Amino acid sequence: MDRLAYWFADRTMSIMQTTLDDPAGVSAAFVQAINAGDLESAIGLYREDAVLLAPDGSQARGTGAIRALLENLVTMRVQMTAQVKSIVVAEDFAVACEDWTMRLDTGRAQDNEQRGQSIVCFAHAEDGWRFLIDAPWGL
């Protein structure tokens, strides 16, 4: 394995191992993965049957459809921040409200920045927490 592939594999393992113990960690890992351009780690944070709401209100169902949306973020070199404002956990499900910013990294001083508040539902399984419903633009 070449050095770059090893770096990505190592980074993916550390993201997945350290963040699936609680729902807020999943959100933090998502931001870390997108900021690093690591699409595979970002996709790995979603359940196979997850739903991601797109800005136009359409629903990307399943990791294949979600991948297509997230590829755009990675391709555009988006840089994100997210802060969990509140979270409610009930057994194997959790709902969180998060404030986020997303900045398109164009290399110019005046990069395009967006802000929003998301609603996120998480589900817990044997291997940890994962996104189940991700509504970054709200409902």
pLDDT in tens, 41-71: 999 999 999 999 998 989 999 999 999 999 9
Q: Which residues contact 90 (CB under 8 A, 6 or more apart)?
A: none
pLDDT at residue 5, rounded to an integer = 37
CA trace torsion 133, 36, 29, 104 (10° rounding)? -50
pTM of the entire predicted model: 0.82
pLDDT at 21 > cutoff 60: yes
**Cα(117)–Cα(14) distance, integer angstroms:** 27
Question: In CATH, which of 3.10.450.50, 3.40.640.10, 2.60.40.1890, 1.10.10.10 is domain 3-135?
Answer: 3.10.450.50
Domain ranges of the chain: 3-135
Residue 138 clears pLDDT 80, i.e. is over it: yes
User: How do residues 30-43 score in pLDDT, each as one tens digit?
Assistant: 999 999 999 999 99
Looking at residue 1, what DSSP letter applies? -
The pLDDT tens digits of the residues spanning 94-133 come to 999 999 999 886 666 566 888 999 999 999 988 899 999 9
